[in-house]
Chain A
């Protein structure tokens, strides 16, 4: 059984907990705190833009020196968008937004109708007019209603107040914007949880498989169009079109013809396949003393791929395809189309490059010690990206809602006029004040126009004036 002192202790702990919770909510709901989080988000994003993402330690060491590279590795700056810090800040922003929405936005933006001290509001005026307060109130209601204001009347302490609202509905714009952001965050989380994406390259005549679904894509032919264009700076070879002519087999086992073109993805069982790049794979033949050597590549190599030469510390990399060798210079020509093609090969000793050479296709290259390497022919390959993202509809919806919220809150200014009419000698005095959700300056001109129009339209009191 709990003793009385136990109970008191529990109560004190509960109160302390509650107070701490309230403090935390207050902190999170503070706009300054929210903006600080946005600043941190911006800073992390900037770091991600400046530091090339997803590179290896050697690349960072080359760019920033070993201490810089160590720092990048330790703080996970090379993968910043998926780092705990980045995701954490986004989480905090969501929490902050939620706290602000419930404790500040709703009470501040959607306040109840109540009496105010007219003179204490910076935008205020008083106008003396003829008529009893009741007559004046009726005229005022007609005056504002004719100008599109929504009129409501309430009595407080025996006095009747008139409230005129413009764009009252738009007070919810901030809520809409904040909800939009939450929906986008939910959509992206769905992708992290359930989606996937990847890329692969398929040589003409070969078949590739999407590992997550088992769908296969057989590339029958890849074609491209590159046109020479005369510009002010001379002839430029401009890519015009890339198309993969493929046969795709999905879950149902049926094989279909597919033309996959840039900007026109192909849908296989909900996974979209995109034409993303292309290249020239090279069939490299290696012989020693005229006979084929075991370690030679058994597959055509794509740009950047290489192979070690058996029994030596050396390797050869296929560095780059050259469409047209310039006859005059023997170097690469400007035309990337394979008119008189060659390949740039680079020899490495361990990790160290020891020389590059441009070899015309079909020409044997003597590597010494009886080794001869021949770039025999090129085969076009097509690079695809694929992706499945169940969050897309949510992200799209969220983006739309966010944009709608932005437009509502930025283009429809909710303004409220507080109007009190009191009897004075010879007529009535109309006290008038205006508030908006964006301060007073933004409404100053309009308020002046309203007061001027009111003055002009109202019959003057028997004596005296505003």
Chain B
């Protein structure tokens, strides 16, 4: 057991983490809706504070107890939310992607809140987990999961934007059929077929832009989101972080299993579920090489991929018996 002062530090850092995420999530969701810079100015620093507090809490726990804090679901889910926020922050600053902060921070807050229900205190690890591999394997896998979560949030925005575009397109076509909007078709065709001018974002939601130009408030709000092409590239870049990490996670897991259980691959439900996610994201990468599939379909595959990650991370432990059974 730790002494009360250390417990207080642990608890306080945890509360700062959750508190910051909740407020940051609300501020960034509001920023997504209202695009007021002040909301972003509140949300982003809080996301940084929350992430630092969380990493600090895990580090402090390790330092104070001498026990690697990632041997249970509390530690791993905490790291998951901290890494997801970290990946988000990197992309937000590097590629101006703060708009997706709302869903990322909200999911991070939920993950951390759920993690606290698994917070048993300070347990030493069971024999199978007393290995240097845990220090390598777990953060890598969690880093992969976290990246896929952020990519999933980008995919949601992509799907939202393209669904809205389809809606305005259908409306426009109905208008054309009724003889009321011939000009719109021309604008759209021109935008789709136009050779790419150097510079500027591709006008890849012409129907939405058109509706916005005709005074539709919701369309104007939608048009303010990054272009579909940009969202697709972001989603791809984030998955391109997650897939090698997941591959490395599976490889290090196999190396550890080889050392601990006698074979690098035992078709254990947990490792097999990780393989399943790997297959989904490998399929994503291949589909993304085809222009016809890049976009809506790859966004759906990213959503499916994150579903498979949730299944692998939590579902297998909850629903499937005889698991990655921390066997000893």
Which A positions have Cβ atoms within 8 angstroms of B?
Answer: 31-32, 34-35, 38-39, 41-42, 45-46, 48-50, 52-53, 81, 119-125, 188, 197, 199, 227, 229-233, 236, 238-242, 262-265, 272-274, 276-277, 385-387, 389, 392, 395-396, 399, 402-403, 406-407, 410-411, 437-442, 444, 447-448, 451-452
Question: If the complex has contacts A39-B283, A407-B244, are A263 and B127 also in contact, measured as CB distance less than 8 A?
Answer: yes
Q: Which of B133, B201, B236, B258 contacts A442 (CB 8 A)?
A: B236
Question: If the complex has contacts A46-B276, A81-B267, A441-B230, are A385 and B198 also in contact, measured as CB distance less than 8 A?
Answer: no
Report yes or no: B195 in contact with A119, Cβ–Cβ below 8 A. yes
A396 to B265 alpha-carbon distance, docked (Å): 12
Question: If the complex has contacts A38-B283, A239-B328, A411-B240, are A439 and B264 also in contact, measured as CB distance less than 8 A?
Answer: no
A212 to B197 alpha-carbon distance, docked (Å): 69
Which B positions have Cβ atoms within 8 angstroms of A?
Answer: 1, 119-124, 126-128, 130-131, 133, 195-202, 229-230, 232-233, 236, 240, 243-244, 247-248, 251, 254-255, 258-265, 267, 269, 272-273, 275-276, 279-280, 282-283, 285-291, 294, 316, 320-322, 327-328
A440 to B195 alpha-carbon distance, docked (Å): 11
A44 to B307 alpha-carbon distance, docked (Å): 17
Q: Which of A32, A38, A53, A262 contacts B128 (CB 8 A)?
A: A262
A402 to B202 alpha-carbon distance, docked (Å): 34
Contacts of A232 in B (CB 8 A): 119-121
A439 to B285 alpha-carbon distance, docked (Å): 13
Known: A229-B124, A240-B126. 18 other contacts (CB 8 A): A45-B279, A49-B276, A50-B320, A125-B197, A232-B120, A233-B120, A239-B127, A242-B328, A262-B127, A263-B127, A264-B259, A272-B262, A274-B261, A276-B262, A277-B328, A403-B248, A406-B247, A437-B289
Q: Which of A52, A199, A229, A444 contacts B196 (CB 8 A)?
A: A444
A403 to B273 alpha-carbon distance, docked (Å): 19
Question: If the complex has contacts A42-B280, A440-B196, are A385 and B261 also in contact, measured as CB distance less than 8 A?
Answer: yes
Contacts of B232 in A (CB 8 A): 441
Contacts of A229 in B (CB 8 A): 121, 123-124
Our count of residue pairs bridging A and B at CB distance below 8 angstroms stands at: 166
Contacts of B1 in A (CB 8 A): 230
Question: If the complex has contacts A31-B289, A38-B279, are A452 and B328 also in contact, measured as CB distance less than 8 A?
Answer: no
Report yes or no: B262 in contact with A385, Cβ–Cβ below 8 A. yes
Contacts of B202 in A (CB 8 A): 441, 444
Report yes or no: B244 in contact with A406, Cβ–Cβ below 8 A. yes
Residue in A34, A199, A230, A410 whose Cβ sees the most chain B Cβ within 10 Å:
A410
Contacts of A410 in B (CB 8 A): 240, 243-244, 285
8 CB-based A-B contacts, threshold 8 Å: A49-B272, A125-B197, A230-B121, A263-B127, A263-B133, A263-B260, A396-B255, A441-B202
Contacts of A227 in B (CB 8 A): 124
Report yes or no: B198 in contact with A48, Cβ–Cβ below 8 A. no
CB distance from A226 to the nearest CB of B (A): 10
Report yes or no: A277 in contact with B327, Cβ–Cβ below 8 A. yes
Question: If the complex has contacts A38-B282, A231-B123, are A448 and B262 also in contact, measured as CB distance less than 8 A?
Answer: no
Contacts of B131 in A (CB 8 A): 263
CB distance from B305 to the nearest CB of A (A): 10
Report yes or no: B124 in contact with A238, Cβ–Cβ below 8 A. yes
CB distance from B150 to the nearest CB of A (A): 16
A437 to B289 alpha-carbon distance, docked (Å): 8
CB distance from B14 to the nearest CB of A (A): 13
CB distance from A429 to the nearest CB of B (A): 14
Report yes or no: B119 in contact with A45, Cβ–Cβ below 8 A. no
CB distance from B146 to the nearest CB of A (A): 17
Contacts of A230 in B (CB 8 A): 1, 121
Report yes or no: A53 in contact with B291, Cβ–Cβ below 8 A. no
CB distance from B135 to the nearest CB of A (A): 13
A276 to B326 alpha-carbon distance, docked (Å): 11
Contacts of B290 in A (CB 8 A): 31-32
Q: Which residue of A lies closest to B240 (CB)?
A: A410
CB distance from A336 to the nearest CB of B (A): 12
CB distance from A392 to the nearest CB of B (A): 7
CB distance from A445 to the nearest CB of B (A): 9
Report yes or no: B127 in contact with A52, Cβ–Cβ below 8 A. no
A119 to B316 alpha-carbon distance, docked (Å): 52
Question: If the complex has contacts A34-B286, A385-B261, A386-B262, are A442 and B327 also in contact, measured as CB distance less than 8 A?
Answer: no
Report yes or no: A45 in contact with B272, Cβ–Cβ below 8 A. yes
Contacts of A274 in B (CB 8 A): 260-262
A411 to B237 alpha-carbon distance, docked (Å): 9
